[in-house]
Amino acid sequence: MKYLSEYRDPALARALVRRIRHTASRPWVLMEVCGGQTHTIVKQGLDQLLGDAVELIHGPGCPVCVTPLEQIDRALAIASRPEVIFCSFGDMLRVPGSECDLLQIRARGGQIRVVYSPLDAVEIARTTPDREVVFFAVGFETTAPANAMAVWRAHQLGLTNFSLLVSHVTVPPAMTALLDSPDNRVQGFLAAGHVCTVMGWTEYEPIAARYRVPIVVTGFEPLDLLEGIAMAVTQLEEGRAEVENQYVRAVKREGTVPAREQVEAVFQLVDRKWRGIGTIPMSGLGLRPEFVKFDAERRFDVLGVRQEESSECRAGDVLRGRLKPAQCPAFGSRCTPEKPLGAPMVSSEGACAAYYQFGRLRETAGAGA
């Protein structure tokens, strides 16, 4: 397929692998931020092609995966209410809470609807005025503009039966938290191209300068990733630490200004808890005071729901790059896509799901526990 096959050319891929291996004078550790990038890397075996020149570790780049257990339990509590139509993207339905998931709530009679846009949920609220309609707003900056538009539209329509359960997180604070960790191994980042399509990369420039780590904005196809790795390795070998853009066909430094303005009009930065990582200050998006009437947490009084993560699930270590999925004792046995212990095994972008789907069941190399 044109505009896709070009980025999967085997000859160009082999040339980039040779370039990386020739450039690297020592092993380097890079972290890809996005779970979509993780799936491409694992499916195509890019990490295996690179040998000992580069180790790729998988970051907290799946918004489903980093949504904490207590937020899932809040969603379940709201979705269980008889007056609620709970709307979500499909990838959240099988994420386990402490006792069940949204699919089980639906099986018990709960009104759970899969939508393809938060504006679909707004329309459901408009046409069903006798029901409370809640949209589960999960994601990084990529999905924030559409969710902001949904709130803006509900405000314009004067809807009183629409709200968001907001679980938005932002990438730069998570990168900073990882680099500040005493057991940090990351020497460079492959930044998520779709996030930067919206937000640009200006927020990454202080991080690269402060921590002396290269950050390369990268796409999602095999050649995108290999070229991004080559750019990062070149920087490391030359002693540079800059933000570079591999994904030039989609990303500009300033991002998409109207989308950023829409996000800033509706949301503000707040502290946010991340699964397996804990609370990262000013790392999430919350509704501004003028839109707080659309906050489902307050409307349904679920802010008091607290839940600790499973001690058996090592999702936190996987999301911090401390552990490869197949190194988790439960992986592939007590934790499978059919019976998951945590979100990374369920999500379509989860690292554990990628390793399971593409047969990485016995891998032992890489980051230690």
Q: How far apart are CA 352 and CA 159, in angstroms?
A: 40
Which has more pLDDT, 362 or 212?
A: 212
Instruction: Average the pLDDT over 220-229 and give the result.
Output: 97
* pTM over the 0.85 mark: yes
pLDDT at 364 over 50: no
Domains of the chain: 5-63+178-245 (3.40.50.11750), 64-170+255-299 (3.40.50.11740)
Strands 215-218 and 243-245: parallel
Instruction: Average the pLDDT over 229-255 and give the result.
Output: 97
Cα dist. 320→64, 94, 236, 343, 360 in Å?
15, 23, 21, 14, 19
| pLDDT at position 366 | 41
- Name the band, by pLDDT with cuts 50, 70 and 90, for residue 367: very low
Which has more pLDDT, 153 or 322?
A: 153
What secondary structure does DSSP assign to 150-161, as a single string? Answer: HHHHHHHHT-SS
Please state, rounded to an integer, the average pLDDT across all residues of the chain.
93
Q: How far apart are CA 232 and CA 157, in angstroms?
A: 48
What tokens appear for 5 in the block?
């096959």
Give the relative orientation of helices 222-238 and 10-23 as an angle to the nearest 10 degrees: 20
Cα dist. 113→91, 102, 110, 227 in Å?
12, 10, 9, 40
What secondary structure does DSSP assign to 268-330, as a single string? Answer: EEEEEEETTTEEEEEEEEEE-GGGGGGBHHHHTT-TT---PPPSS--HHHHHTTSS-GGGSTT
3-class state of residue 57 by DSSP = strand
Q: Kindly report, residue by residue over 275-325, the tens digit of the pLDDT.
A: 878 899 999 999 999 999 999 999 999 987 776 777 788 988 898 888 899
What secondary structure does DSSP assign to 69-89, as a single string? Answer: HHHHHHHHHHHTSTTEEEEE-
Instruction: Average the pLDDT over 325-333 and give the result.
Output: 93
